[in-house]
C-alpha cells in the first residue's frame, strides 16, 4: 500500500510521461507498473501488474526469459547502459530517483532508426569494427570486472608494418582495401566474446575477456600469420603485435600503453612478430 505522499509523487509524473509519442511506463524497483502514459494504455490491454507482464506478456521477469541484458531497469541497477535491444523493439530505462524508473518502448521504424544511429556512432566507417570511443567504453567495463572479481583480461595491440609504403606505392584506395581486409581477418580469428576495434590509422586493438596472456599470445600469432598470407601485387603484408594481461591496478590508459610498448618491442625486434609484456 502506497502512502498519500507516494501517490502524489507518482501522479506528478503523469503530465511528463504523457508528453511522449511512444509507450512509457512508470515502474518501481520491484517491476510493478505504477503509471502508464496514454499511448501505453492504448497499446497494452492490461495496465496493472508487473512490467514484464503488462508490456511483454511474460509470466516471469524478462531476464529469466531472454537473458540478463533483457531488462533496462536491471541494467541501470548494475551500473550499465539502460538499454535493451530486441528483434522488434528497443527498451530504454531511466532512473527518476527514490526507486522509480521510466521504461520506454520503441518499436517499428523508430527502433530501427535508433539501432542504425547507435551503430553509426560506435563503428569505424571503413572496417566496420568498433571505433576507439566504443573500445574505451568496453575496456573500462571489463577492467571493472578484473578489479572486482579477479577475472582474466588481455589485450592485443596490432600495427601494420610498412603501411606507408602501401599507400605511397599503390595509392590510398589500395591502403583502404588492405585495412578492410585486415579488419575482417582480425574479426574472423577471435571468439564471439572478444572485441575487435580499429584504434586509429593502421592500428587495431583486440579485447579478450576471460583470457590470460598466454591465450592472448596464441590469438595474436594466429592473426599475424593470417595477415602474412596476403599480398598486394608482389608486396607481402605483415603486422607487429603487442600482448599484455590486465592487473587489478591497471587503468584503461596504463593497459593500452603497456600493450603499445609490447607492440613497439616487436617493431624494434625486426617487425612481423608478437611480443608479450
Q: Which residues participate in catalysis according to the annotation?
A: 202
Cα–Cα dist 105/108, whole Å:
10
Residue pair 124/130 in contact by the 8 Å Cβ criterion: yes
At 49 the three-state DSSP class reads coil
**Alpha-helix residue ranges (DSSP H) falling in 21-131:** 38-43, 51-54, 62-66, 72-77, 108-122
Question: How far apart are alpha carbons 224 and 276 in whole angstroms?
Answer: 14
- Distance, in Å, from the CA atom of 248 to the CA atom of 266, rounded to the nearest integer, reads 25
Rounded distance between C-alpha atoms, residue 33 and residue 23, angstroms: 13
Instruction: Report the C-alpha gap between 193 and 257 in whole angstroms.
Output: 23
Phi, psi of 46, rounded to the nearest 5 degrees: -110, 115
Question: By C-alpha distance, which of 28, 30, 26 is closest to 12?
Answer: 26
Element (H, E) at 260: helix 252-268
Tracing cell 567495463 back to the chain, one arrives at 141
Q: How many Å is the Cα radius of gyration of the chain?
A: 24
Map residue 213 onto helix, strand or coil.
Answer: helix
Amino acid at each position: 500500500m502506497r502512502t498519500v505522499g507516494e501517490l502524489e509523487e507518482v501522479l506528478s509524473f503523469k503530465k511528463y510521461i504523457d508528453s511522449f509519442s511512444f509507450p512509457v511506463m512508470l515502474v518501481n524497483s520491484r517491476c510493478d507498473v505504477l503509471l502508464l502514459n496514454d499511448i501505453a494504455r492504448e497499446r497494452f490491454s492490461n495496465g496493472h501488474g508487473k512490467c514484464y507482464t503488462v508490456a511483454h506478456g511474460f509470466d516471469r521477469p524478462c531476464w529469466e526469459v531472454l537473458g540478463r541484458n533483457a531488462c533496462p531497469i536491471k541494467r541501470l541497477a548494475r551500473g550499465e547502459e539502460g538499454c535493451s535491444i530486441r528483434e522488434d523493439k528497443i527498451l530504454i530505462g531511466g532512473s527518476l530517483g527514490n526507486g522509480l524508473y521510466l521504461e520506454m518502448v520503441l518499436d517499428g521504424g523508430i527502433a530501427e532508426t535508433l539501432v542504425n544511429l547507435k551503430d553509426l556512432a560506435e563503428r569505424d566507417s571503413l572496417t566496420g569494427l568498433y571505433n576507439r570511443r566504443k573500445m574505451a567504453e568496453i575496456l573500462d567495463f571489463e577492467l571493472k570486472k578484473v578489479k572486482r572479481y579477479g577475472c582474466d583480461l588481455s589485450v592485443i595491440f596490432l600495427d601494420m608494418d610498412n603501411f606507408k609504403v602501401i599507400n605511397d606505392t599503390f595509392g590510398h584506395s589500395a591502403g583502404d582495401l588492405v585495412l578492410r581486409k585486415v579488419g575482417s581477418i582480425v574479426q574472423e580469428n577471435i571468439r564471439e566474446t572478444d572485441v575487435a576495434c580499429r584504434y586509429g590509422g593502421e592500428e587495431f586493438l583486440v579485447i579478450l575477456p576471460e583470457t590470460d596472456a598466454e591465450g592472448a599470445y596464441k590469438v595474436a600469432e594466429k592473426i599475424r600469420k593470417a595477415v602474412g598470407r596476403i599480398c598486394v601485387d608482389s608486396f607481402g603484408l605483415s603486422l607487429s603485435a603487442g600482448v599484455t594481461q590486465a592487473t587489478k591496478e591497471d587503468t584503461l590508459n596504463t593497459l593500452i600503453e603497456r600493450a603499445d610498448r609490447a607492440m613497439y618491442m616487436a617493431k624494434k625486434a625486426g617487425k612481423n612478430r608478437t611480443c608479450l609484456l
